[in-house]
Structure 1
Amino acid sequence: MIEVAAAIIENEQGQILIARRKKGKSQEGMWEFPGGKIEQGESVHACLRRELLEEMEIEILPHAFFGMNDHYYGSNHIRLIAHKATYISGVIHLVDHDDFRWVCREELKEFSFAPADIMFVEMLELES
């Protein structure tokens, strides 16, 4: 099983950051909540801060557990652990993605999300 952290990042307007996986990556063309693999001995919050700095060059402040989803991509078992986070600073520069958007919860259903992220999309829509 691979543990992966995902950030539900909100800006001051209450919009949520989503990103599209670039060509050549697994789940290419699918939208996701940004994050990455949790390294051995690393906390979810530390992972999210590190990954968002590496992948988007932004600083975030993870603050609350949002949910966990076990998903199988073929024989690969992924445990996706989502935490809510606040955008702190930085200008987004994409590394593992080819597009990003700040969207309202009501707009999330307009995007094709990676299967492991869909549960969190549904949870966010219920919050609105």
Structure 2
Amino acid sequence: MIEVIAAIIENEHGQVLIARRKKGKSQEGLWEFPGGKLEPGESPEACLIRELKEEMNIRIEPYERFGVNEHDYGTIQIRLTAYKARYIQGDIRLVDHDDYRWVAKAELDKFEWAPADVPFIEKLKPEETTHET
């Protein structure tokens, strides 16, 4: 089981940062919340700070654990733990991705997602308001 940590990074407008895996990478062409593999002895928060600096050249502040999802990709199994994080600074420069977007939570299901990230999309979607009669 590979431990992977993902960041659900929000900007001041309430949009979240998503990134598309570039050609040649596993899950190429699929969208994901950026992050990476947890190194031995590393905290999830430290992992996210390191990975986002390496992969996107930005500083973030993880502040709350959001959820965990285990997924079997056939050849590997991952445990994906997501944390909510604040965007602090930096101009995004892509390394493992070929595109990124800041999107409203209501628009998340318009993208084709890496399977391990899908449960987080459902959890992030705005609640539908229901009116009792």
Task: Flag the structure with larger Rg.
Answer: 2
What do you get for the CA RMSD once the two structures are aligned?
A: 1.0
Q: Which ranges in structure 2 are unaligned for 5 or more consecutive residues?
A: 129-133
Cα deviation code 1:31-55 (max 9, x no counterpart) = 0000000000000000000000000
In structure 2, the partner of 1:53 is 53
Q: Conserved in 1, the CA contact under 8 Å of 2:62 and 2:84?
A: yes
Cα deviation code 1:60-115 (max 9, x no counterpart) = 00000000000000031100000000000000000000000000001101000000
Distance in 2 (CA, whole Å) between partners of 1:25 and 1:65 is: 26
Distance in 2 (CA, whole Å) between partners of 1:78 and 1:126 is: 27
Q: Give the TM-score of the pair, scaled to structure 2.
A: 0.94
Q: Does 1:96 align with 2:86?
A: no
Structure 2 matches for 1:1-128, cutoff 5 A? Answer: 1-126=1-126
- Deviating beyond 6 angstroms after TM superposition, the runs of 4 or more aligned structure 1 residues are none
Distance in 2 (CA, whole Å) between partners of 1:49 and 1:93 is: 15
Instruction: After TM superposition, give the deviation of residue 127 of structure 1 in Å.
Output: 5.1
Q: Structure 1 pair 127/64, CA: closer, same or farther in 2 (3 Å)?
A: farther
Q: Give the TM-score of the pair, scaled to structure 1.
A: 0.98
One-letter amino acid of the structure 2 residue matched with residue 98 of structure 1: D
One-letter amino acid of the structure 1 residue matched with residue 52 of structure 2: L
**Sequence identity, in percent?**
66
Distance in 2 (CA, whole Å) between partners of 1:7 and 1:127 is: 21
Q: Which ranges in structure 1 are unaligned for 5 or more consecutive residues?
A: none
